[in-house]
Each structure stands twice: as C-alpha cells, then as structure tokens.
Structure 1
Amino acid sequence: MTLDTLKNRITQYLKSDAWHRPKQLNVLENLWSHLPNSVIFGGMIRDFSLDLAREFHSDIDIVTLGSSKKLESVLRPYSPTKNKFGGYRFQSHGYVYDVWSLNDTWAVKNKLIVANDFQDLCKTTFFNLDAIALDYKEKVIYTAPCFEEGLYKKNLEINFPEHPHPSKMAKRAIYVAAKKQLSIGPDLAKYILQNIKLGANDSFYLRIKESLEKHVKHNPTKEFTPLEQLSLDIH
C-alpha cells in the first residue's frame, strides 16, 4: 500500500456513514481545531497500513506539539485522566483516546531522543511498523526510514530499542507478530529471547520462544516466519 493510498483510506474511513464514525470524526476535528499541530500515531495507522482496518479496535493515539498545559485545557470537557507516562486518556462514543504532548512522550521526556517535530517522533517507537504518523488536517504522513521496508516485507523489527518494560515488549512482539501475521526480524528475535518472562499460563508464548531459540541458533540473520500458523491460537 502506498502512503497516498493510506491517507485516502483513513479519510474515507473517518468520513463514512457508519453510526459511530461521524461522532469519532467530530472528536478528532474538535481536537485539531484547538491543537492544529497534531498527528494520529501508533496502532490505528499501523493497522490501516497493513490493510487490517476491520481489525482495529484499539485506542486512538494522538501526539501534539502543544504544551501539556494547553493539552489539559483543551481536553477538560472530556474529563480525561492522566496516565502514569504523562499522557491524557478519555473515552467518547465507545472509543478511547490517548493524547500526548510531544515533549511528554517517554523517549523525549527521558532525553533519549531529541524531538522537535513529527519526523523526530517516528524515531521514538519501539517497533518499526509503529513509526508512522498522520496529520489528518494537512493530510501529511511522517515515517521513519525503517517503516516502508518493514511494511513491504510484512516484517516486525526494532526501531528504537529503549523501553521502560523490556519483558512486556518482548511478549507484545510475539502477540503483534502472530495477530498481524508478520515475520519477526533478527534483532527483535534476539531481544525477545533476552527479555521475555513467562508464567505458568503462557503456553502459546512458550511454544514461540522454543521455536525462536532454534531459529536464532541456526539462522541468526534471517527473519522468523512460522507465526501465521499459530495466529489462531493466540489469546
């Protein structure tokens, strides 16, 4: 899928006459009217990129260049709560929105990445396929260099390796790859094996871990691909 096609599909999705879309669009347009320098970021754009729009049922992540103080003022009518990472969360018409000031995103706030704009924002995502942002108002898409290659190959890899919860991300990597039927890149495979922690009820993840161990031992520079057969088993 080209980036122009992606922009068109998201626009058509939001402007469709499904019962909830006008309400969803109203929320987004209200935010953009008060926070014009903002982008939709994360899972929604990733799923549309992978042609999985029908599967998208997650939160809608928005990042703005506006200050946290401005953000708090704009979101007050939605009665948001502040999460532990400094973003604001609210629910409207069945959708959950997470809204961040760029300066409060984790990697920027912890001075791991200097970010002045949305191109820099794309450097901060752990996964390559999350490194995409859409300015809905201006119809502009930003990506990291690794995004388009990962999209073309349907390959999940590491974009930025720092994360406050490595074991959580190791497990999430398996979940996302299986759910979206993506291969796992060599660096991500090693990261998973180094960081994953499993409990007694993690039989699915244990099977993947055992397969990954064999794969990395014999093919350390190649992508790990047998996830599509296991995607139905994930829970």
Structure 2
Amino acid sequence: MSKLEGIIKDNLICLLKEQSETLEFVEKLAETGELLFFGGAVRDVYIKNEQKIFPRDFDIAIKFKNERKFYQLIEEYEFKKNRFGGYKFKISGIDFDIWDLNNTWAFKNTDLAASEENLARSVFLNIDGIVYNFNTGCLHAELLKETLKRSELDISLEENPHVELNLLRALVFKRKYNLDLSNKLKTVFKFYKERSNKDNLINNLFEVQLSHYKAEKLSRDELEKELHYI
C-alpha cells in the first residue's frame, strides 16, 4: 500500500469514527467481501485529504466473498432497495448506498465488464473516476488524476440513467474546482438545450439540484448564465 492509499484509508476510518455506528457497519460489511468505495466521499478525501468534512453519503460496491453473510448482516438494519437493485441504509443519520459490483447499472446495461478497475470508468463525469478498495488498499484514480491535471470536466461513459443530474453536477464541479467543460460535454448540454429549450432545461436542472443536494448550489440566474456561455 502506497503512502497516498494509506492516507485515504486513515482518513476514511477517521471520518467513519465520527459517527457512532458507521465504522462498525463498514467493518461488518468488509467481512462479506471487498468494499469498493466510489463517488463523492472518496473523491473528496482524495482531493482534500487534509480536510475532514463528513460527506452526505457513502457509495460502496461489494466484490462478494460471502454473499450469504451479507444477507444475514442486513437483517440487523433497516434498509430500502432502490429501483436499480441497490440497498440504502441510514446509519447514525448517514446514507450508505450499497451495490453488488456485478449488478451496478453500468455493468448491467452497457458492454463494460464488471471489475473494480472498470467501476472507476463506469461514471458519466470523469471527476467521479475514483475507486478505493477498503480491504486491499488498492486505489484506481487515473480518470480523476487526469481531470485535475487537465483542469477539464469530460464524459467517461455517456450511457447513464441520470444525464440531467450529471449535467447539473458538472456545473457545480466547474465552479467548485475551477474546471473547464470539454467540447464533448458542451455538445451534450447543447443537445439538451435544443431538445427542451433553455428555460425548461434551467427549470429541470434547478429542481434536480434541490432533489439531489437538498440545497441550492446554483441559483436560476447562475444556471442561466452558465448555459448562456455553453
């Protein structure tokens, strides 16, 4: 395990320790298989590893070694299944979205083969291209590293069930990390502007934002300004 991979694990454990049951929950999960942390929580730990800001949720895919033990474990907790086959838990007020690696949306609906390396490539936005194996300490962050090196948001895998959400997220990340939009990403924005007209797209993005973040990251005026220059 490299120094960076060790730092990521240490920071994840420190974050999880801040809430009474979260680390215990993750350690129990790790007994059922290899835990692949992906999404915003591990990305923020990677980018801002000196900061300890508790995330809204954790996304974890599992490479099962003992699937039966997993189903026994989850009976100890309240959970919901979403329409894509994942499990949502709320532990100490924190959301955990848990997936069987082989049954994530991308691996079920595209030609991408299920693997922890490909999980990092199965994202719509390249800034989400990071996976950390909690059990082995292995880090897959080539997409994210390239994003930060080039200071450019781009599309990794265009097939996605939540394109408008990802377009909204692209505008949030553009401001948050001072990134440019790639020509490919601008083309998708233009397609959606033409398909539903700009005003409808602004309304859609604004409502998606409130549903996803439970907060206003960008005002309607800010969304209009961003779309005007694309």
- Counterpart in the other structure of 1:101: 100
Cα 1:17–1:74 shift into 2, 3 Å = closer
**Given the alignment of the two structures, is residue 43 of structure 1 paired with residue 61 of structure 2, yes or no?**
no
Contact 2:120–2:143 (CA under 8 A) maintained in structure 1: no
Q: Which of these residues, 6, 9, 18, is aligned with residue 7 of structure 2? A: 9
Q: What are the Cα deviations for residues 79-104 of structure 1, in whole angstroms up to 9, with x where unaligned? A: 11001221000011121100001122
Matched, 1:180 2:186: no
Which of 191, 203, 215 is residue 199 of structure 1 equivalent to?
203
Report the Cα distance in structure 1 between the residues aligned to 2:172 and 2:21, rounded to whole angstroms: 31
Give the Å deviation of 1:67: 8.8
Q: Residue 163 in 1 paired to residue 181 in 2?
A: no
TM-score for both structures, normalised by structure 2: 0.78
Give me the whole-angstrom Cα distance separating, in 2, the residues matched to 1:198 and 1:67.
45
2:132 to 115, 134, 138: 134
Amino acid at match of 1:118: E
Secondary structure of 1:163's partner? coil
> Structure 2: which 5+ residue stretches go unaligned?
194-200, 207-219
Amino acid in the other structure paired with 1:32: A
Residue in 2 that maps onto 1:220: none
State the match for 2:228 in structure 1. 210
- TM-superposed CA distance for 1:163, in Å, is 1.1
Q: Per-residue deviation at 1:139? A: 0.9
Distance 2:223 2:15 in 1: 40
Worse overlay, 93-102 or 177-186: 177-186
Q: Distance in 1 between matches of 2:222 and 2:71?
A: 41
Contact 1:15 1:21 in 2 (8 A): no
Aligned-pair Cα RMSD in Å: 2.8
Identity %: 25
What is the SS of the residue equivalent to 2:158?
coil
Kept in 2: contact 1:134–1:142 (CA 8 A):
yes
- Conserved? CA contact 2:87–2:98, under 8 Å: yes
CA shift, 1:141, in A, is 0.9
2: CA distance between counterparts of 1:108 and 1:17? 29
